[in-house]
């Protein structure tokens, strides 16, 4: 295999996960180990791996929701390896959007053979980015530490999970329900007040002026977006261009639409 291929290993069966991790490392894969679904979400969105492996001996609703969400939002292949793959488990797993379900029997040599075959066609990816740094903000996803202008900022685990999700999908709007499902679980979907509260916590700790945020922006009625510098500069440039167009000699009056478009008014259609 040429170059490291980044994989996320969600290990809910510890002995099996450890063996799989050793086996993958020996073959030149870069492995990001996660013990909980929220950790695996973070790895998926931040590191953009080539595939997800799930090592488990029991299926759960949380795990099913994780698989369905990742499949709905990405094209990543997901492989499940089970140490107790009985008929009931295999039947249940067959209803999930998995690319492969590999029963681990005896020493697991047969499962490893099939797994090696499944992973062989994956394209090599660059080494995962485990830090994010821009305009005085530095986030280390491995140690879950944050610096603002060189000063350590304490975030609770929940605050960090919200931040990691937004940064991992920077430049895109993340809906209220997506945040709730990824951070708190699907049973919290609909509780927008909870998201709003934690966004305020993050703004107080990360923004120079929390009442006029520049990093974490609100898309009213939809959700929130972490706005990197390049996106912010593009937006500010577009706003200046609109202002210049409106102030140009002979320009007709207009209004700025909610999506940022400048709508010119036809004077003939304007009532006297």
Average pLDDT over residues 215-242: 77
What is the pLDDT at residue 224?
94
Helices (H) and strands (E) in the chain, counts: 9, 14
pLDDT, tens digit (0-9, with 9 covering 90-100), for 14-30? 788 888 888 888 888 88
217: containing domain: 131-229
More confident residue, 97 or 115: 97
| Whether residue 112 sits in one domain with residue 162 | no
The b/e string for 81-101 (b: 16+ C-beta within 10 A; e otherwise) is bbbebeeebeeebeebebebb
Q: Which of 119, 151, 178 corresponds to the end of one domain?
A: 119
197 SS3 class: helix
CA distance 158 to 155: 8
User: Checking phi first, is residue 221 left (phi over 0); if not, alpha (psi -120 to 50) or beta?
Assistant: left
Strand partners, 138: 133, 147
CA distance 31 to 84: 23
| Whether residue 211 sits in one domain with residue 148 | yes
* Cα–Cα separations (whole angstroms), residue 262 to 90, 178, 239: 56, 30, 9
| Whether residue 83 sits in one domain with residue 186 | no
53 SS3 class: strand
What is the pLDDT at residue 247?
61
Whether this prediction's pTM lies above 0.85 is answered by: no
| Whether residue 112 sits in one domain with residue 22 | yes
| Whether residue 164 sits in one domain with residue 113 | no
pLDDT > 70: percent of the chain: 75
Residue 142 belongs to a domain with what CATH number? 1.10.10.10
pLDDT, tens digit (0-9, with 9 covering 90-100), for 144-154? 889 999 999 99
pLDDT > 90: percent of the chain: 22
Task: Tell me what the pLDDT averaged over the chain comes to.
Answer: 79
| Whether residue 192 sits in one domain with residue 104 | no
> Is the distance from CB of 57 to CB of 16 less than 8 angstroms?
yes
More confident residue, 21 or 232: 21
| Whether residue 16 sits in one domain with residue 110 | yes
CA distance 180 to 185: 6
pLDDT tops 90 at residue 49: no
pLDDT winner (highest mean) among 80-94, 124-138, 143-157, 159-173 = 143-157
| Whether residue 179 sits in one domain with residue 152 | yes
Q: Is residue 114 part of a domain?
A: yes
| Whether residue 218 sits in one domain with residue 135 | yes
> Is the distance from CB of 12 to CB of 62 less than 8 angstroms?
no
| Whether residue 102 sits in one domain with residue 34 | yes
Q: Is residue 265 part of a domain?
A: no
pLDDT winner (highest mean) among 16-25, 81-90, 96-105 = 16-25
Q: Is residue 211 part of a domain?
A: yes
Q: Which of 63, 88, 119 corresponds to the end of one domain?
A: 119
Q: Which of 119, 144, 171 corresponds to the end of one domain?
A: 119
Average pLDDT over residues 234-245: 61
The domain total for the chain is 2
- pLDDT-wise least confident of 30-34, 57-61, 244-248, 267-271: 267-271
What is the pLDDT at residue 256?
44
Instruction: Sort strands 6-11 and 30-34 into parallel, antiparallel or unpaired.
Output: parallel
CA distance 270 to 272: 6
**pLDDT band for position 127 (cuts 50, 70, 90):** very low
């Amino acid at each position: 295999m040429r170059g490291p291929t980044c994989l996320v290993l969600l290990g809910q069966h510890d002995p099996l996960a450890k063996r799989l991790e050793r086996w993958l490392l020996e073959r030149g894969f870069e492995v990001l180990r996660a013990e909980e679904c929220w950790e695996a979400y973070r790895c998926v969105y931040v590191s953009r791996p080539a595939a997800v492996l799930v090592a488990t001996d029991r299926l759960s609703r949380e795990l099913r929701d994780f698989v369905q969400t990742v499949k709905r939002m990405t094209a990543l292949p997901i492989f499940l390896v089970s140490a107790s793959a009985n008929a009931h488990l295999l039947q249940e797993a067959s209803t999930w959007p998995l690319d492969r379900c590999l029963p681990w029997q005896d020493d697991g040599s047969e499962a490893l053979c099939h797994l090696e075959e499944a992973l062989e066609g994956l394209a090599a990816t660059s080494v995962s980015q485990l830090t994010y740094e821009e305009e005085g903000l530095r986030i280390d996803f491995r140690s879950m530490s944050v610096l603002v202008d060189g000063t350590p900022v304490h975030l609770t685990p929940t605050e960090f999970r919200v931040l990691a999700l937004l940064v991992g999908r920077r430049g895109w709007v993340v809906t209220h329900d997506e945040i709730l499902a990824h951070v708190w679980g699907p049973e919290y979907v609909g509780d927008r007040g909870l998201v709003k509260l934690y966004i305020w916590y993050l703004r107080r700790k990360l923004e120079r002026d929390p009442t006029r945020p520049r990093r974490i922006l609100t898309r009213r009625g939809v959700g929130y977006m972490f706005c990197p510098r390049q996106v912010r500069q593009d937006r500010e440039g577009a706003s200046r261009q609109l202002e210049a167009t409106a102030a140009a000699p002979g320009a007709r009056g207009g209004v700025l639409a909610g999506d940022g478009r400048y709508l010119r008014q036809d004077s003939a259609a304007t009532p006297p």
